[in-house]
Chains A and B, each alone.
Chain A
Amino acid sequence: MKIESLSLALGALLGIFAASQAIAASEQVVIGDIDDLSGVYADTGGLGAIEAVNMAIADSGGTALGKKIVLLSVDHQNKPDIGASKFREWADQNGLTLVLGGSNTGVSIAMSKVAAAKKVPFIAIGAGGSSLTGADCTPYTVHYVYDTTALANGTASVIVKNGGKSWFFITADYAFGTQLQDSATRVVLANGGKVLGSVRVPLGTTDYSSFLLQAQASGAQVLGLANAGTDFSNSLKGATEFGITKTMKPAALLAFLSDIHSLTLQTAQGLYLTTGFYWDLNAETREFSKRYFAKTKKEPTMDQAGYYSATMQYLKAVKAAGSTDSDKVMAELRKMKINDAFAKNGYIRADGLMIHEMYVMQVKTPAESKYPWDYYKVIKIMPGEEAFGTQPDPACPMIKK
């Protein structure tokens, strides 16, 4: 009898607790950041990205529609199941209104499925796979910073047009790497080049020498590195050590400012790469980066700047919609013109891809670099349509032909 009444009391108490939590949640704007905080991509987004979101929240006065803005964050450890289950948990229990992040295409694809099921906007930052707004698109996914198509249209086309006609790819063996290689291959072939071979390498490989020798044996002019993070650093470092960079031109299909910083200009000089943001582009980017640097002692990568911009745009959309209702906010986001420190002439296409200017850069030589973090010179400014394509991806089921 005693136990029964006790459990009854406990049950009632829990009911009250749950109800009060639900009320609390609807009075808040809850932004979730699900990102790699400890693994190979932790320097491109990671803790710096959280700092960027906090800057955006502070710049918006900490509230939206009079509701407090709360930031939750978790390390997805590059595991799709962790990313998806944390997303689901926050949506069910914490009144989640927006999710950011998802570095690693595999994790982002899993998270976009949850976004569709829970009807919570997901702004993918850090993942490259263009299928996020293609075959895997959802009404709630926005792909914000860059995708594999834009990277290929930037770096690959500039190199092919400069005479790098024959390619060999070293590719990270998962969704991102293979999509990147496919996009780059299309660009190379379309511009009259050819691909002499490729090798798929497991993610997290440290020794690339065998694959580099295969690349060299192929006789190709260009060494296409369809990988990222420490995979990219280790493969480029190996290429320099084996003297391969003397005969082949390395192409970084995805490199971040943090990669160049850790590799040093000595190793990375001359490299072509494509980025959506560079801190030293203009007064606006310098102003944002200066504030960011004051907090982190690093210049922001394109992902970190993208986090700031995405949060600002989302909060603007919430204000415009006068609600945190997902469908209303998504409708506002799709209407907006995005012009801020991160994006120039940006807008969200029907398939969810954020179209904005991209920049093809070349890494400076140590002699050209005049001050700390002075790493890139602009080779080409690509308008959004040139980088991402003019038409929505027909593979996206939302696009009616």
Chain B
Amino acid sequence: MTTVFGVPLPAILGQLTLGLVNGSFYALLSLGLAVIFGLLGIVNFAHGAFYMLGAFAAYIGLQAFGINYWFALLLAPMAVALLGIGVERLCLRHLYRLDPLYGLLLTFGIALIAEGVMRDQFGVSGKSYPVPELLRGVVDLGFMVLPIYRAWVVIASLVVCAATWFLIERTRLGATLRAATENAQLVQAFGINVPIIVMGTYGAGVALAALAGVLAAPVVQVSPLMGSSLVIVVFAVVVIGGMGSIVGAIVSGLSLGLIEGFTKVIYPEASNIVVFVIMALVLVWRPAGLFGKE
């Protein structure tokens, strides 16, 4: 059998495929963070909490109202985005003129509150969310057996990432957004309502996190702690990609998923630190991140 570093090739291919699945989650989450940071300059520490709330919104929707997975994909992000918009209106907007650290502290506090409330309601063991009927079963790729649902995660995530990139970098709306962050006063002078744009952007970033949560719900146990364990890694991904860079978030999210998958074959104990080692190296070599502007 062909081997690479003493590991059979099928095993490597299998792990890389799984890495791609995880990378899709990283990409989707870091994309939302990058949008919020790049356009609003907010270090959104509540991102993991919104991801968790997205998963819980899907769970509650299914249990209480019988809303199936496909509607949850649409409705849960919208519900969580509304919550995010509330946070932006009531709290965050008062901090725009201050040091970014204040926004970080505020969102961190919100994350703790959200986690605490869900823990009180559902306990830490969390809940199970069933895989939707249509996506059950597995496909045999030759080198591994892949659950259809995981393949769907990769496709859905890539489509959403590409669409977000296109919206921000290639459309008139995106151009207005970027202009508003460059010079809010000037854009306002052209008759564009900048506060509404800012609010919408934050809501959209939050919706991306919640969407990732819905996608993750059938894969992992829906638990109040699911966000806090992920948000740190996702921040590392954003730092590696370059704070605020959309392309950087997508590319580094996917590639770090792959690298992590590879580490799980070579030396599994290191799988949860490899991302941070790479972050340290990148910060030394390119302090602004791989795709960041110096």
B128 an interface residue at 8 Å Cβ cutoff?
yes
Q: Is the CB of B145 within 8 A of A242?
A: yes
- Residues on B with beta carbons closer than 8 Å to the beta carbon of A264: 128
Considering only residues 241-277 of chain B, those with a C-beta below 8 Å from chain A are 261, 264-265, 268-269, 271-272
In the complex where A206-B226, A241-B149 touch, is A211 in contact with B264 (Cβ < 8 A)? yes
B147 an interface residue at 8 Å Cβ cutoff?
yes
Q: Is the CB of B125 within 8 A of A258?
A: yes
| Distance (whole angstroms) from the CB of B202 to the closest CB of chain A | 26
CB nearest neighbor in A for B116: A38
Q: Is the CB of A261 within 8 A of B125?
A: yes
Q: Is the CB of B125 within 8 A of A202?
A: no
| Distance (whole angstroms) from the CB of B135 to the closest CB of chain A | 11
Contact of A233 (CB < 8 Å), options: B14, B21, B126, B131: B126
B132 an interface residue at 8 Å Cβ cutoff?
no
Contact of A209 (CB < 8 Å), options: B21, B119, B225, B272: B21
- Residues on A with beta carbons closer than 8 Å to the beta carbon of B268: 199-201, 210-211
- Residues on B with beta carbons closer than 8 Å to the beta carbon of A213: 11, 14-15, 18, 144
B124 an interface residue at 8 Å Cβ cutoff?
yes
Q: Is the CB of B125 within 8 A of A230?
A: yes
Q: Is the CB of A207 within 8 A of B22?
A: yes
Most B C-beta atoms less than 10 A away, residue of A200, A243, A262: A262
A267 an interface residue at 8 Å Cβ cutoff?
yes
User: Mask for A129-173, Cβ within 8 A of B = 1, else 0?
Assistant: 000000000000000000000000000000000000000000001
In the complex where A213-B11, A262-B123 touch, is A230 in contact with B18 (Cβ < 8 A)? no
CB nearest neighbor in A for B218: A241
Considering only residues 190-226 of chain A, those with a C-beta below 8 Å from chain B are 199-202, 204-207, 209-211, 213-214, 217
Q: Is the CB of A202 within 8 A of B221?
A: no
Q: Is the CB of A210 within 8 A of B261?
A: yes
| Distance (whole angstroms) from the CB of A303 to the closest CB of chain B | 13
In the complex where A210-B18, A210-B264 touch, is A230 in contact with B126 (Cβ < 8 A)? yes
Q: Is the CB of A243 within 8 A of B145?
A: yes
Q: Is the CB of B125 within 8 A of A204?
A: no
Instruction: Give Cα distance in the complex from A263 to B221, angstroms.
Output: 8
CB nearest neighbor in B for A212: B18
A80 an interface residue at 8 Å Cβ cutoff?
no
Q: Is the CB of B123 within 8 A of A43?
A: yes
Chain A residues proximal to chain B, CB less than 8 Å = 38-43, 46, 173, 199-202, 204-207, 209-211, 213-214, 217, 229-230, 233-234, 237-238, 241-243, 258-259, 261-264, 266-267
Closest 9 A-B residue pairs measured CB to CB? Answer: A262-B125, A210-B264, A202-B272, A43-B125, A233-B221, A42-B124, A43-B123, A209-B18, A206-B220
Offer 7 A-B interface pairs, CB within 8 angstroms, sorted by A: A205-B272, A209-B21, A210-B268, A213-B11, A237-B221, A238-B219, A266-B128
